[in-house]
């Protein structure tokens, strides 16, 4: 299985009989979990922002391990009741610790193989979440075929089908939704069972749980209108408590799913304008893209965000190609042709075009063409990049890019010559292959003819 190359030789793979009992209410493992969140940079999740405390139920033991000081009995007795059913025993705490600190897919699966029969619901969800966090896209197919992983999936299905109301809390359910989506497993059956549990406890969901759950369902392509309607009501109630990334993800999920609650969109726009200083380019680019996708006009939001779209801000942002592409699509699709914004986007892209994927380059060109905006420097740079990276372009992306050039009356001669040159060796090679095949056939026929003469 895949490995990130980290040395785990110091991490225990067996259970420790002296391990401390669980004491609920402590969240000291949160920093470890947050740093492993998907897309994390600098310890916070790029996707969910400030929402890394997803697996903190059993984290109370870490402080004792770090400090060497046992928790006082009085403090443990005074702690609030655990969030699920009953307090887990020492074994379940250790299993969660092993899973949380496993840094490769194979290490997680080793823990699953050795201790699966002892897993409770939290251990199960932790294992799935860690696998979804660590597994790279190219290896997810192999992971889904692994017998150990299949055992996790079947146990999860049984848990969702049979668990009583309240046993699985919002944190559990949002983790499950996110993990299944990242692993490509949120099918209709699992979606149905999961949705039922979410609906029963939707009033207990916090902003991070709501945004994560809606994101997962939208990303998986399952629109449960009843669920989205209930979630929208809860989002509107808690909207002032949403962080910028949670606002962006929630609005994107609704736009992507096709469930557009206009009242919620307008409330999100007003809150964004009010708190725009707290929004990073990734946040507001996703938000504007979502408004354009949902076809909800909001000129003031586009105007205020447009003021933040400077070359300095965009070029310094993480994932700049993604941000620039989203903004170009948002402004062009919404019909908001802001010359200063498109100039900033063009200059930012021109200086960082090597960082753009071919599909992003094609999408960017389509957005500029739709907006009717020519930018000499950008289009010259794109033409040069296409010539150099022609082999990387998929045929549909290349066709869309050429169409964008032509719609703006721009020359495609350099790209056309590159295409012609790239095809020429292939034609010569094909001709040589056909000639070789013909010679080979003739040689076989000659040999057969000679053998026939000898037999006579």
pLDDT interval class at 251 (50, 70, 90): very high
Q: Does residue 275 contact residue 244 with C-beta atoms inside 8 Å?
A: yes
Residue numbers of the domain that contains 336: 309-433
pLDDT average, residue stretch 168-184: 93
Burial 220-254 (b: 16+ CB within 10 A, else e): bebebeebbebbbebbeeebeebbbbbbbbbbbbb
Q: Which residue is listed with tokens 């309240």? A: 166
User: Which of 112, 146, 162 finishes a domain?
Assistant: 162
Greater model confidence, 64 or 281: 281
pLDDT over 90, % of the chain: 67
Instruction: Identify whether 52 is part of a domain.
Output: yes
Q: Does residue 348 contact residue 320 with C-beta atoms inside 8 Å?
A: yes
| Confidence (pLDDT) at 84 | 43
Query: pTM for this one?
Result: 0.75
Instruction: Identify whether 345 is part of a domain.
Output: yes
Greater model confidence, 387 or 187: 387
Q: Which two tokens stand for residue 108?
A: 């997680």
| Confidence (pLDDT) at 165 | 82
Determine the Cα–Cα distance for residues 228 and 272; give it in Å rounded to an integer.
Answer: 21
Instruction: Identify whether 372 is part of a domain.
Output: yes
Least confident stretch, 11-15, 365-369, 381-385, 440-444: 11-15
Determine the Cα–Cα distance for residues 83 and 121; give it in Å rounded to an integer.
Answer: 12
Total domains in the fold of the chain: 2
User: Which of 162, 178, 201 finishes a domain?
Assistant: 162
Instruction: Identify whether 265 is part of a domain.
Output: no
**CB proximity list for 162: less than 8 A, separation 6 or greater:** none
Query: SS3 sequence, 178-220?
Result: HHHHHCCCCCHHHHHHHHHHHHHHHHHCCHHHHHHHHHHHHHH
- Over residues 324-379, the pLDDT tens digits come to 999 999 999 999 999 999 999 999 999 999 999 999 999 999 999 999 999 999 99
pLDDT beyond 50 at 227 = yes
User: Which of 146, 162, 178 finishes a domain?
Assistant: 162
DSSP state for residue 81 in the 8-state scheme: P
| Confidence (pLDDT) at 423 | 79
Quickly list H helices, 105-261. Answer: 105-115, 121-134, 140-145, 147-162, 170-182, 188-201, 207-220, 225-238, 244-257
Instruction: Identify whether 41 is part of a domain.
Output: yes
Q: Does residue 19 contact residue 90 with C-beta atoms inside 8 Å?
A: yes
Instruction: Identify whether 188 is part of a domain.
Output: no
pLDDT average, residue stretch 138-155: 93
**CB proximity list for 18: less than 8 A, separation 6 or greater:** none
Instruction: Identify whether 295 is part of a domain.
Output: no
Instruction: Identify whether 301 is part of a domain.
Output: no
- Over residues 376-434, the pLDDT tens digits come to 999 999 999 999 999 999 999 999 999 999 999 999 999 999 998 887 755 555 555 66
| Confidence (pLDDT) at 154 | 94
Phi-psi region of 166 (alpha: psi -120 to 50; beta: other; left: phi over 0): left
């Amino acid at each position: 299985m895949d490995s990130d190359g980290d040395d785990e030789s110091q991490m225990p793979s067996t259970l420790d009989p002296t391990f401390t009992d669980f004491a609920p209410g402590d969240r000291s493992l949160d920093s470890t979990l947050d740093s492993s969140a998907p897309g994390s940079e600098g310890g916070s999740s790029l996707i969910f922002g400030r929402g890394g405390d997803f697996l903190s139920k059993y984290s109370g033991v870490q402080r004792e391990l770090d400090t060497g000081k046992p928790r006082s009995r009085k403090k443990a007795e005074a702690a609030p009741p655990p969030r699920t059913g009953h307090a887990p025993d020492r074994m379940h705490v250790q299993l969660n610790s092993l899973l949380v600190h496993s840094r490769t897919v194979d290490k997680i699966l080793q823990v699953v193989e050795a201790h699966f029969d002892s897993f409770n619901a939290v251990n199960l969800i932790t294992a799935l979440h860690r696998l979804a966090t660590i597994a790279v896209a190219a290896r997810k197919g192999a992971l889904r075929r692994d017998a150990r992983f299949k055992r996790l999936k079947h146990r999860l299905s049984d848990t969702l089908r049979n668990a009583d109301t309240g046993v699985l809390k919002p944190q559990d359910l949002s983790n499950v939704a996110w993990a299944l989506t990242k692993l490509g497993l949120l099918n209709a059956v699992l979606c149905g069972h999961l949705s039922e549990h979410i609906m029963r406890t939707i009033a207990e969901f916090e902003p991070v749980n709501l945004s994560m759950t809606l994101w997962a369902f939208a990303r998986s392509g399952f629109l449960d209108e009843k669920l989205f309607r209930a979630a929208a009501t809860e989002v509107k109630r808690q909207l002032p408590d949403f962080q910028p990334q949670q606002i962006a993800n929630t609005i994107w999920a609704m736009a992507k799913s096709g469930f557009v609650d206009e009242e919620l969109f307008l409330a999100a726009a007003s809150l964004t304008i009010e708190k725009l200083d707290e929004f990073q380019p990734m946040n507001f680019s996703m938000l504007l893209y979502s408004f354009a996708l949902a076809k909800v006009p909001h000129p003031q939001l586009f105007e205020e965000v447009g003021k933040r779209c400077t070359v300095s801000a965009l070029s310094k942002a993480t994932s700049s190609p993604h941000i620039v592409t989203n903004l170009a699509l948002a402004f062009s699709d919404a019909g908001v042709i802001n010359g200063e914004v498109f100039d900033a986007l063009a200059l930012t892209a021109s200086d960082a075009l090597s960082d753009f994927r071919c599909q992003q380059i094609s999408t960017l060109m389509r957005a500029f063409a739709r907006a009717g905006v020519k930018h000499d420097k950008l289009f010259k740079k794109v033409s040069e990049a296409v010539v150099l990276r022609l082999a990387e372009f998929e045929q549909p992306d290349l066709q869309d890019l050429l169409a964008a050039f032509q719609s703006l009356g721009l020359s495609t001669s350099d790209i056309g010559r590159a295409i012609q040159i790239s095809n020429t060796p292939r034609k010569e090679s094909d001709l040589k292959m056909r000639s070789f095949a013909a010679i080979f056939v003739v040689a076989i026929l000659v040999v057969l003819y000679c053998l026939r003469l000898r037999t006579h």
